[in-house]
Structure 1
Amino acid sequence: MFSLLFTILLLFGDGSTSGTFSAKVIKVVDGNTIEVHNSDKEVVLLLLNGVDCPEPGQPAADHAKAFTEKMVLKKKVTIVLHGKDRWGNKLATVLLNGGTNLNHELVKSGLAWAHPSADKTVVSFQEEAKANKLGLWQTEDPTPPWVYKRQQTMMAPKGR
């Protein structure tokens, strides 16, 4: 009996990796990472699904963060969870009142890359921003954040 109850809790638990809920955005960590208060006033860290903004230190990183702050900081939003990434971060789509999709708006504005696994819609938004030389696409060949992070790791001093 205990085993069955435990399995049910694991499968249906608290909805922390799938589902939809309303929340208030309390902090913008970077362009594609936010913290929200859920209905239980718990702080939940979320990464935007399917998009990746420049990392701190990269061109346009501050602009992407400011854009996200302007769009959602201190506002009530709808969160659609998409599970977790390989590091355990919760992945989400953030919808504003009226249905505006923050994830899409970042890519449309040229402030985020479509993640390599993103759907065709997000990729088409990136191609349009690139063609119009918006945001990070004003430079010839911007470095994607996943490449930038790898480069930073390779340049870091090794421990003894």
Structure 2
Amino acid sequence: MIRRVSTVLFSLITVIASAQTYDQDFTGKVVNVIDGNTIEVENENDEVIKFILSEVDCPEPGQTLSEEAKAFTEDLILKKKVQVELKGKDWLGNRLAVITLKNGTVLHEELLKEGLAWADRKASSTSSNLEASAKAKKIGLWTENEPTPPWIYRRQQTMMQAKSR
């Protein structure tokens, strides 16, 4: 009985300890860039964790500048050590994070400066101002009169899918 309790207790502690890696900011290495604002980071326990950048949304695959946003993100952070500052989860359960390079460069701010992302509606004033600046300069997304935001593009794609009966 004691052996069984200690085994269960050890298993519980292991689960709690591994779950804590997702609840704390950490430094890790970027091992994959899925799209402009979705990346995978390997932590010190060799676990690969997927994050979506907080405060921004980049064009979806198939949209104008989606490949440019992905390439920009890859050039800036792929295979580099970064600081991951956790910001909770989105409504789909995806982990949100602010990603900062060793030199202090904040990834989502750079995407906004280049006109490769939209600022989230709940974003900080810094992010909103960076988006407004890119719009004023007519760079990136803002070379178009009315670029389609990714959240509208995703909804349109869902509506075009055949419905099952």
> Structure 1 unaligned runs (5+)?
1-5
Amino acid at match of 1:24: K
- Which residue of the other structure, out of 46, 69, 77, is the alignment partner of 2:74? 69
Aligned to 1:14: 20
In the TM superposition, residue 112 of structure 1 has moved relative to its aligned partner by: 0.3
Per-residue Cα deviation, 1:101-155 (whole angstroms, up to 9, x for no partner) = 0011001110000011111110000000000011111110000000000011011
Return the letter of the residue paired with 1:110: G
Q: How many residues align?
A: 152
Matches within 5 A, 1:1-160: 13-17=19-23, 19-160=24-165
- State the TM-score, normalized to the length of structure 2: 0.88
CA distance in 2, matches of 1:76, 1:107: 21
TM-score of the two chains, using structure 1 as the length reference: 0.90
Q: Which runs of 5+ in 2 are unaligned?
A: 1-11
Determine what percentage of the aligned residue pairs are the same residue.
51
Structure with the larger helix share: 2
User: Aligned partner of 2:26: which letter?
Assistant: F
Query: What is the aligned-residue RMSD (CA, Å)?
Result: 1.7
Cα distance in structure 1, aligned partners of 2:84 and 2:63 = 27
Greater C-alpha Rg: 2
Secondary structure of 2:20 counterpart: coil
